[in-house]
């Protein structure tokens, strides 16, 4: 009896999906719960598992086509796993083939005699016998044009390079990213403020305790755990940046769901660290590493990408020195991190070289004033330059 493959529910407010790659085509066997087809939504890419063990008998929706939640996109026939036939070479009858005849030797043709008329003329003109007749005059030599001049005179000498175009439709995730970025610029009053942070203390901590941290917790001691903890502390002090405008009201959040921008296989995604104020540095690092791996494999769940009260985006991993990040609506702020570079700075009247990072805060000026934004970045700077502040919460 045919078993229908249906588009599952993939989250609130999502009613339509796009069919991605069929991992099991018609005639292919799939075990129960084995991924059969990939579907793409505006927020995530998901794999639809096989409801039973059996063979895919029909594909109704091809890659790139749209389907609604609940639509039947294919059928399977329930059956046991096919048994692989292992043919034994000894049991197979050997077919007797007559030996191939040896190829006849090639007959060499004697070289053709050149015709008398084709005799090679003398390379130099023969000097005529002395007489009162006029000597023969050779025609003037023709000198070839220089290469550069010939190229100018004959522009078609070099063929033009191939100038093709490759038109690819935008994926649902990329379309949604574009919509939200345009929405952010259109509906919010965005402004960016900057500061710079001395990363010496954090770099020393990572160098001193990184190996022990990895051995104990199974993950590296990265930068993000420091900035997440610093951001939570700053958001507690400046609650406007952890708030959103809802209609004519301002909604202040007393929880801290921090989005971490990650470049995934289908584009930029922002999975959420729920209740980041309760997470230890090890919890933060493990969750971010897991998010990054599943983003590359397009395995993030829709619910992991929804919500969020504040976002951190680290363009420094790609080498960005300075940028203005864009707020993810309806949030009111986003913190941009950048590359760490050794730069000369003044400390106690002396010029020294320190590992420095520019940080940027883009905020919605409708709800956050400049004083609050500058204070927020100042708190981030103080926490990173003196990590003991985060431990002691001072």
Could you give the count of Cα atoms lying within 13 Å of 260 in the half-sphere of its Cβ?
25
Q: Let me know if 369 is a catalytic residue.
A: yes
Domain(s) labelled CATH 2.40.50.100 in the chain stretch across 2-78
Q: State the pLDDT at residue 261.
A: 94
Domain(s) labelled CATH 3.30.559.10 in the chain stretch across 173-392
Over the chain (394 residues), what is each successive 10-residue block's mean pLDDT? Answer: 88 82 92 91 83 93 90 91 56 50 50 47 48 46 51 57 84 78 86 97 94 93 95 97 96 97 82 96 96 87 90 94 93 97 96 98 96 97 91 65
The gap between the terminal CA atoms of the chain, to the nearest Å, is: 67
Q: Which of these, 24, 25, 4, 27, lies nearest to 75 by C-alpha position?
A: 4
Could you give the count of Cα atoms lying within 13 Å of 247 in the half-sphere of its Cβ?
1
Active-site option among 185, 283, 365, 386: 365
Whose tokens are 């420095």? That residue is 356
Is the sign of the CA dihedral 110, 114, 116, 117 positive or negative?
A: positive
The domain 173-392 is classified under which CATH number: 1.10.1740.110, 3.40.50.150, 3.40.50.300, 3.30.559.10? 3.30.559.10
Topology, domain 2-78: OB fold (Dihydrolipoamide Acetyltransferase, E2P) (2.40.50)
Q: Report helix, strand or coil for 106.
A: coil
Q: State the pLDDT at residue 133.
A: 42
Tell me the backbone φ, ψ of residue 298, rounded to 5 degrees: 55, 45
Whether pTM exceeds 0.85: no
Q: Let me know if 365 is a catalytic residue.
A: yes
């Amino acid at each position: 009896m045919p078993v229908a493959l249906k588009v599952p529910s993939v989250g609130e407010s999502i009613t339509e999906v796009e069919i991605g790659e069929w991992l099991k085509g018609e005639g292919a066997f799939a075990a129960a719960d084995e991924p059969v087809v990939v579907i793409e939504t505006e927020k995530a890419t998901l794999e639809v598992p096989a409801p039973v063990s059996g063979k895919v008998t029909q594909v109704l929706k091809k890659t790139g086509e749209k389907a609604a939640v609940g639509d039947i996109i294919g059928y399977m026939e329930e059956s046991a796993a096919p048994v692989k036939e292992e043919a034994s070479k000894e049991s197979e009858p050997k077919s007797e083939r007559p030996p191939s005849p040896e190829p006849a030797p090639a007959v060499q043709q004697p070289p053709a005699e050149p015709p008398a008329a084709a005799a090679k003329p003398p390379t130099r003109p023969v000097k005529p016998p002395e007489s009162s007749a006029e000597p023969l005059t050779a025609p003037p030599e023709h000198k070839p044009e220089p290469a550069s001049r010939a190229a100018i005179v004959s522009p078609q000498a070099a063929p033009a390079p191939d100038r093709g175009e490759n038109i690819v439709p935008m994926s649902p995730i990329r379309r949604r990213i574009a919509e939200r970025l345009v929405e952010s610029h259109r509906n919010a009053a965005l402004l960016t403020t900057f500061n710079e942070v001395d990363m010496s203390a954090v770099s020393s901590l990572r160098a001193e305790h990184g190996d022990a941290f990895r051995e104990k917790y199974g993950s590296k001691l990265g930068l993000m755990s420091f900035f997440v903890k610093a951001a939570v502390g700053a958001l507690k002090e400046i609650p406007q940046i952890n708030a959103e405008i809802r209609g004519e009201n301002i909604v202040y959040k007393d929880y801290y769901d921090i989005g971490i921008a990650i470049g995934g296989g289908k584009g930029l995604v922002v999975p959420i660290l729920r209740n980041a104020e309760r997470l230890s540095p090890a919890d933060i690092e493990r969750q971010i590493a897991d998010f990054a791996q599943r983003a590359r494999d397009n395995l993030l769940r829709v619910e992991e990408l929804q919500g969020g009260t504040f976002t951190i985006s680290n363009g420094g991993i790609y080498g960005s020195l300075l940028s203005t990040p864009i707020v993810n609506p309806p949030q009111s702020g986003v913190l941009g991190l950048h590359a760490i570079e050794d730069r000369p700075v003044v400390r106690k009247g002396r010029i020294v070289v320190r590992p420095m990072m520019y940080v940027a805060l883009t905020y919605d000026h409708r709800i956050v004033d400049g004083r609050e934004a500058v204070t927020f970045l100042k708190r981030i700077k103080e926490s990173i330059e003196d990590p003991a502040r985060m431990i002691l919460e001072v």
